[in-house]
Chains A and B, each alone.
Chain A
Amino acid sequence: MATRSEELMTDATTQGDVDRELAIRVRGLRKSFGDVHALDGVDLDAAPGTVLGLLGPNGAGKTTAVRVMATLLKPDGGEVCVAGLDAVHEATALRERIGLAGQYAAIDENLTGLENLVMVGRLYGMSRARATLRGRELLERFDLTEAADRPAKTYSGGMRRRLDLGAALVAKPPVLFLDEPTTGLDPRSRLDLWTTIEELVAEGTTVLLTTQYLDEADRLADTIAVIDHGRVIANGTPDELKDRVGGERLEVRVCAREQAPVAARALAPTADEQPLVDGDTVTVGVRGRNGVIVEAVRRLDEAGVEVDDITLRRPTLDDVFLALTGRVAEAPGDDDEVAA
């Protein structure tokens, strides 16, 4: 980031070269559906071989942004450049260089794993023989060789998602769009998929990832852009974002849910900002660590609040999300994003 801004100041032409080298470069992207401004001037950058995490509440515009970058949706305005190609004017050429995998495993359940991959390969223009070879390679990589000749409807959720990712990788695309790739997966399958994504990035693939799981973004993303109401409201590395939220978080779980607001009032004087109440848990941002817990316990005791658990911790991306959007990151699948 620092080098880029230096170049911007010293030499305008170098800046142009840097931009062309970016795997994803979006400027002023706008898209409306009727009166709804799904995207209202979005800027995004991703350097080659990095993961850009797109975070935001449901309906913030994440999926719309992905759909525009993946050539599925025409923007109303702005520039969208992916893998060095313009997503509107060079859409056909761009489709050769991107892979898309979403939260709905986009596979034909009545075809076998191999048939699915061969179909996609042939639609990329490969011969049947080459598509079959590539299909077997991918099945091997995703540990699906044994299931290769079974209809995909017999696959588990994790297997389907791996097959879907395999389909997105058929043409070895330099840029990969993953729209909530682990939503609905069990923890084991999520970990497997994370490892795979890390391997792809190590091989040089650029990944744009949208996710509802902030721990996923924390682990995978090199840079994060937080979107809300169709605008990027913050971006940076996960650590930079956490630093922006500031100090430690004090988390208090009360024994009785109805006492949570009482606890929040009692803790308010010690806090940097308004305490947040979520069910039986109260979270407050505090300055420094010394004496914070003792002070909190004293105040809670005076207010007559029974405490079940009290901890002091570093801010997580959840805190970042809350501080930036004023909302708790919603549980995935609560309600579908406006998709177009």
Chain B
Amino acid sequence: MSRLVTDTLVVAERNLVRITRAPDLLLAFTVQPVMFVLLFVYVFGGAIVIPPTYEGYTEFLLPGIIVQNIAFGGFVTALGLNEDLHKGLIDRFRSLPMARAAVLAGRTLADIATNTLSVVVLLLTGVIIGFSFDASIVEVVGGLGLLLLFGYAFSWVFALLGLMVSSPEAANSLGFIAVFPLTFISSAFVPVESMPAALQWFAEINPFTIVVDAMRALWVGQPAGNSVWGAVAWALVIIAVFAPLAVSRYRRAAGH
């Protein structure tokens, strides 16, 4: 067990060091989400009718777009693992006497650091354009914790994806096809009530809606219902399903 911890930390360190060497990746985590916030607030914002309990579209949007963004944080894991697979690094790791789960655990752990960075950048952007918390410190921190947990869960989904597809390009497009609609057919950008009935039904059971609603409850004082516990449960279920799948896939992984 202690071997798993040290090996995981070694791999996580490697992944964080390499991010600083390839700063273009960092751009994807910082500039792109900021661009989306500005587009939504200033281009679409005026046309979207939000419930009167919100002060404005920025307050409605920010928790949603942060959740969307954190789910995509796992892309680094998918792309990185796929690259490692093709460059023969996974073969090398698998020939070493290291803990079997450490390569994936180290990857997903490193994602928490990049996810934290992107949440901070988005929050700062939000504050600049007028977002403010309507919450206690505990709720703010609790919200951060939930975000990182949910992002961590999606890192395992992307880990599996990265080990299954044939190229980083395929990981990119498949990841988008799978996750993009999920994030949009949710309460993240528009109120669910404004959608056609069929979409509304889907949006209501969509884990993204549950997590977004939980964030709104924690950060901007919206009614919570069961959404906070529901969100935590979803994250744990996703980890419980996808982490073993990804590790088992890794054990059988073959490079090139």
- Which residues on A are within 8 Å of B, measured CB to CB? 67, 70-73, 92-93, 95-96, 98-100, 102, 104-111, 115, 119-120, 122-125, 151, 167, 336, 339-340
Determine if A72 and B96 form an interchain contact, defined as CB atoms under 8 angstroms apart. no
B129 to chain A minimum Cβ distance, whole angstroms, is 34
Determine if B95 and A104 form an interchain contact, defined as CB atoms under 8 angstroms apart. no
A117 to chain B minimum Cβ distance, whole angstroms, is 12
A-side contacts of B6, CB under 8 Å: 122
Determine if B21 and A70 form an interchain contact, defined as CB atoms under 8 angstroms apart. no
* Cα-based distance from A110 to B98 in the complex (angstroms): 21
In the complex, what residue of chain A is closest to B21 when comparing beta carbons?
A110
Q: What 1/0 flags go to B230-256 for Cβ under 8 Å of A?
A: 000000000000000000000000111
B-side contacts of A339, CB under 8 Å: 254-256
- Show 27 residue pairs from A and B whose CB-CB distance is below 8 angstroms, ordered by the A residue: A71-B94, A72-B94, A73-B254, A96-B97, A99-B95, A100-B91, A105-B88, A106-B89, A107-B87, A107-B89, A108-B14, A109-B87, A110-B18, A111-B18, A111-B21, A115-B14, A115-B17, A120-B92, A120-B96, A122-B10, A123-B10, A123-B96, A123-B97, A123-B98, A124-B96, A124-B97, A151-B21
* Cα-based distance from A120 to B88 in the complex (angstroms): 14
Q: Quick one: which of B13, B86, B95, B254 has the most chain A CB within 10 A?
A: B95
Determine if B254 and A111 form an interchain contact, defined as CB atoms under 8 angstroms apart. no
Q: What 1/0 flags go to B13-26 for Cβ under 8 Å of A?
A: 11001100110000
> For the complex, is B36 an interface residue (Cβ under 8 Å from A)?
no
- Which residues on B are within 8 Å of A, measured CB to CB? 3, 6-7, 10-11, 13-14, 17-18, 21-22, 86-89, 91-98, 102, 254-256
B-side contacts of A98, CB under 8 Å: 95
In the complex, what residue of chain A is closest to B7 when comparing beta carbons?
A123
* Cα-based distance from A286 to B87 in the complex (angstroms): 46
A-B pairs, top 10 by smallest CB distance, nearest first, are: A106-B88, A110-B18, A104-B88, A340-B254, A95-B97, A106-B92, A110-B21, A123-B98, A100-B95, A122-B10
* Cα-based distance from A320 to B173 in the complex (angstroms): 48
* Cα-based distance from A124 to B11 in the complex (angstroms): 12
